[in-house]
Amino acid sequence: MAVSFIRKVGVAGAAVAAVGGISFGASAFATGPGSAGHHTAAPAAAPRGHKAAAPVAHEAAAKPAAPKVVRQLIGKGEVHGTAWSVTLEFHPTLPEGYDIPSFPPSGVKDAPSTPAKKVTALVCQRMVIDGVRVDHQGGPWADCQPVDGAHDPGRSGEAGLWGLHDKGTSGFRLFVANPESQVAYGVVILADGTRLTARTVTVPGTAYRAWAVAIPQGRTIASVDQYDARDHRISHETEWR
């Protein structure tokens, strides 16, 4: 569950550092034919006076391989004994069983629902707290967003607070931002002065990126800042709690 605000921001990071140990990693997620010891039997000789029949060629229809899902670890760590992680997952094609959200045209009564825009792929934000996936009650495609290919600009600029209770407003929480391309890292300053810094991580071969930090239970946010690679502050927000 999450408290989420969709807005154009401009930062993103990928590692946390301040409360508890944090580490970052990236994981963009045939054997040859074995004929030794086997011999192919030669066709029997045709009776004299008869022409040997041509062997029938059997060609197995090759089933096209499904495009590989790319998984990128954004950040992980442990805070006061609670392990956490955030991973972005890019599906180059819409997975089987996924239903594209659709909406009826505005102001048109009884009109059929249609997708809000062209979509061909899927980006999922997998967040885990203490071994439990956030929003797992919503099924396998919870926290997934349909996109148009690997470089859909519509996904940039989002940020949200996520947790296992009360829609991310209490308990152990994760702050995850999907920043614009110029954002190199983000800094979350807690009310007690603690600074949590995370660098932006991008899914290989795509424009989808994020940074994430963990907010310990009982702590609140004073501000969220995002910076470019030259340490120039791009945005400053104080509405988060």
Residue 136 in any domain: the answer is yes
DSSP string for 186-224: EEEEETTS-EEEEEBEE-TTSS-EEEEEEE-TT--EEEE
Residue 30 in any domain: the answer is no
Residue 55 in any domain: the answer is no
Q: What is the pLDDT along the chain (241 residues), one digit of tens a residue?
A: 555 544 433 333 333 333 333 433 333 333 333 333 333 333 444 444 444 455 554 445 566 666 899 999 999 999 999 999 999 999 999 999 999 987 565 555 555 555 567 899 999 999 999 999 999 999 999 999 999 999 999 999 999 999 998 877 889 999 999 999 999 999 999 999 999 999 999 999 999 999 999 999 999 999 999 999 999 999 999 999 9
* pLDDT score for 171: 93
Instruction: Find the domain containing 88 and state its range.
Output: 2-24+68-102+113-237
Task: Sheet with 233-237: list strands edge to edge.
Answer: 195-199, 185-190, 221-227, 233-237
Whole-number Å distance between alpha carbons of 180 and 122: 19
State the number of CA atoms in the 13 A half-sphere of 5 facing the CB: 11
Residue 35 in any domain: the answer is no
Residue 48 in any domain: the answer is no
Q: What angle do CA 136, 197, 205 make, to 5 degrees?
A: 65
Residue 50 in any domain: the answer is no
Residue pair 185/155 in contact by the 8 Å Cβ criterion = no
Residues whose CB is less than 8 angstroms from the CB of residue 223 and which lie 6 or more positions away in sequence, other chains included:
188, 189, 236, 237, 238, 240
Domains in the chain, number: 1
Residue 205 in any domain: the answer is yes
Residue 47 in any domain: the answer is no
| DSSP helix/strand/coil, 164 | coil
